[in-house]
Amino acid sequence: MVLGLSARQLVYSVLSVAVGGGIVLLLYRHVGLTVSAYIAIPVVAPIAMTGFYSYHSMTFMEMMKLKLYFAFANRTYTYVSTEGGQAVRKFGQEEKIKGRTGKKGSKKNK
């Protein structure tokens, strides 16, 4: 541990600072310091998150891959109702027939 960081956190911290600094140094002459910093942030944030973030023992990249899978590649399931108007009427008719003939579950109080 260096400065209280694990090896993984240290590597990704150095990598994100190097990438962010490189982007700012390359772009600040063309677009200015503020805009180059705004361009660097979306590039640096995922790198830094990979080093520090974990959720249910998954790294940031593993979790984002899983989220993208569930967002775009997940198979959609559709529900087809069997309780439409015709099915309900048919069920009601069957219950009436059972009630008349005294089958299943119809106990008459004496």
Query: Is residue 36 in some structural domain?
Result: yes
pLDDT in the model for residue 29? 92
Whether residue 13 contacts residue 51, with contact meaning beta carbons closer than 8 Å, is answered with yes
pLDDT in the model for residue 104? 56
Instruction: Count the neighbouring beta carbons within 10 Å of the beta carbon of residue 12.
Output: 22
pLDDT in the model for residue 99? 78
Query: Is residue 109 in some structural domain?
Result: no
Domain count, the chain: 1
Query: Is residue 16 in some structural domain?
Result: yes
Per-residue pLDDT in tens (0 to 9) along the chain, 110 residues = 777 888 888 999 999 999 999 999 999 999 999 999 999 999 999 999 888 888 888 888 899 999 999 888 878 788 777 777 888 888 888 888 887 766 555 555 54
Question: Residue 42 is part of which domain span?
Answer: 7-59
Beta carbons within 8 Å of 20's beta carbon, 6+ residues apart: 40, 41, 43, 44
Sign, CA dihedral 45-51-55-60, equals positive
Residue 9 forms beta bridges with which residues? Answer: none
* Extended beta strands in the chain, E state: 54-55, 58-59
Query: Is residue 41 in some structural domain?
Result: yes
Query: Is residue 75 in some structural domain?
Result: no
